[in-house]
Structure 1
Amino acid sequence: MLSFGAMLSILLATAAATRSENAAWQAKVNEFGQFQGHADIVMFGDSLTASGHWQEMSPRLSIINRGISGERVDSALLRLDQITVARPRLVFMMLGVNDIRRSISPDDVAASYGKIINRLADVDRIFVQTTLLTSDVVHNAAIKRLNSALAARCSQAANCRFLDLNTALSRDGRLRPEFTTDGIHLNGDGYRAWEHQIRPIIASISTPR
């Protein structure tokens, strides 16, 4: 059993990490608030989205990246104005893995996701991309339940489409090792495979910047 001092040290370290995460999140939100403008496409999500070079993948279209490392669904709900202010034609969203890793119920995550979808009713088309599988089979069991719930939620909104990425990026129920750096995040090949899946959708927008 841990001593009181050891337990206190763990609690203090956890609190410090939480404060650091909150400060980094707030700084990123503030940064996004300083740079607003119209975009054809908004990429919205956590670190998986944040690390993608989306504009370079489609240079003839205006694409803004509104991913934040460590983002969870409930905190994403607080910054939907970063989407609406851009008046995009398409929104691609991917969230959920950080919630699952913190043992949040897939049903609770999907319920919060549903609130995001409802609040983006004025966007032409929302693409809810599957939460990507990881190399962890325990997390993946919850992610699969989440994706089933997200598909059901998305089907209830006229402007929402559910987009399966796991078929292309996973194998044998796990994220393909050649596409990842650590079992969660993607390398360049992983982003190229992701881009290949959404390319036909993006190509449907013919108006250049």
Structure 2
Amino acid sequence: MLARLLRRHGDPPPDRFAGVPLPAANVVFLGDSITEAGSWSEWFPRYPVLNRGISGDTLEGVRARLATAIHRPAAISLLIGTNDLNGQGRTAQVAGIAAQFADLVAELRALAPDAPLIVNSVMPRARRFARRIHELNRSYAEIAGDAYLDLWPALADGKALRKSFTDDGLHLNGNGYQAWVEVLRPRLEAVL
């Protein structure tokens, strides 16, 4: 926590996976704190998984640590952009975030051309973010094409994250993760 507070605004979080052996043929869950808190090996016990979520991460941070996140993965599930919209990344402007996202997707596809990519939409949160999240998700869908997975219908109640899916208005609780997994599981199993 203290390290996060001492970082300069916009600095990516440290890559805590540097130096950790990186096996091949795993399903890699890549993203920020929402990904980090997921119990992926329990939800997908049939597959070897790597959780490469880091609290506070941004698009720039994920790009900076791809070498320690993926190595010939079986599939990649990506959820990133929430912290960028909150102003923690290089830009908080939707167009700038979308441009960084396009670069990240291109780099992922170049580094792991045979790995199916699942791009999870930015999740709903407080109502005041709904317009910008929808705008960003439209860009994500256009950039990712068939790789895009829209989580909004499963997680939103009107224009915000369902209260029963969160304890703080941003991060998912067990019910929220269950709703996400119910949408993600068929997509992931279809590509493996």
TM over 0.5: same fold?
yes
After superposition, the CA RMSD in angstroms is 2.4
How do 1:47-196 and structure 2 match up within 5 A?
A: 47-85=33-71, 87-102=72-87, 104-121=92-109, 122-135=113-126, 137-155=127-145, 161-196=147-182
Partner residue, 1:6 = none
Q: Deviations over 1:151-178 (max 9, x none)?
A: 11112xxxx5110011101111110000
Shift of 1:35: 2.9
Moved more, 17-26 or 76-85: 17-26
Secondary structure in 2 matching 1:119: helix
Secondary structure in 2 matching 1:64: strand
Letter in 2 for 1:142: R
Letter in 1 for 2:117: I
In 1: Cα distance, 2:138 partner to 2:11 partner:
33
In 2: Cα distance, 1:18 partner to 1:96 partner:
22
In 2: Cα distance, 1:40 partner to 1:143 partner:
30
Contact 2:12–2:58 (Cα < 8 Å) also in 1: no
TM-score w.r.t. length of structure 2: 0.87
Partner residue, 1:10 = none
In 2: Cα distance, 1:115 partner to 1:123 partner:
18
Contact 2:78–2:119 (Cα < 8 Å) also in 1: yes
Secondary structure in 2 matching 1:93: strand
**Equivalent pairs, count:** 184
Q: Deviations over 1:68-122 (max 9, x none)?
A: 000011111111123432x112111011111111170111111111111111221
Which structure's CA Rg is the greater one? 1
Instruction: Point out where structure 1 has 5 or more consecutive residues left out of the alignment.
Output: 1-14
Partner residue, 1:40 = 26
Contact 1:134–1:184 (Cα < 8 Å) also in 2: yes
Moved more, 19-28 or 64-73: 19-28
Contact 1:130–1:163 (Cα < 8 Å) also in 2: yes
In 1: Cα distance, 2:104 partner to 2:8 partner:
25
Dislocated runs of 4+, deviation >3 Å: 20-24
Shift of 1:60: 1.6
Q: Deviations over 1:128-164 (max 9, x none)?
A: 11000102x2222111110011111112xxxx51100
TM-score w.r.t. length of structure 1: 0.80
Contact 2:15–2:65 (Cα < 8 Å) also in 1: no
Instruction: Point out where structure 2 has 5 or more consecutive residues left out of the alignment.
Output: none
C-alpha distance 180-16 of structure 1, shift in aligned 2 (>3 A)? closer
